Amino acid sequence: MTRASYVILSEGDMEYTIDYLTKLALEPGDNKHANIIFPSDGLMCIFMNNLFQSFVVNSVPQENNLDLILNIPDEQEN
């Protein structure tokens, strides 16, 4: 079982994690899990769009057994 956690705070974090997840999705096997933490929903949307584009470019199959858990903290009201 592959299990990893990442915090996305910068473009570098995003690029590294997208590369890792693309490679992981292409590997054979089951039980591939990744927990990803974002500071905002905007950064999460950018990340997911870029991840999808990477999957398309790298021909990641739709059935890749990759389980992503996306975490975004609750926004604080002022």
Per-residue pLDDT of the chain (78 residues; tens, 9 = 90+): 567 899 999 999 999 999 999 999 999 988 899 999 999 999 999 999 999 999 999 999 999 999 999 999 886 655
Domain count, the chain: 1
pLDDT computed for residue 3 by the predictor: 77
Confirm whether 77 is domain-assigned: no
pLDDT computed for residue 19 by the predictor: 97
pLDDT computed for residue 35 by the predictor: 95
Confirm whether 78 is domain-assigned: no
- Say what the alpha-carbon torsion angle 12, 16, 18, 22 is, to the nearest 10 degrees: 160
pLDDT computed for residue 59 by the predictor: 97
Confirm whether 25 is domain-assigned: yes
Look up tokens 């905002």; give the residue.
Answer: 40
Confirm whether 34 is domain-assigned: yes
Do the beta carbons of residue 36 and residue 72 sit within 8 Å? no
Confirm whether 33 is domain-assigned: yes
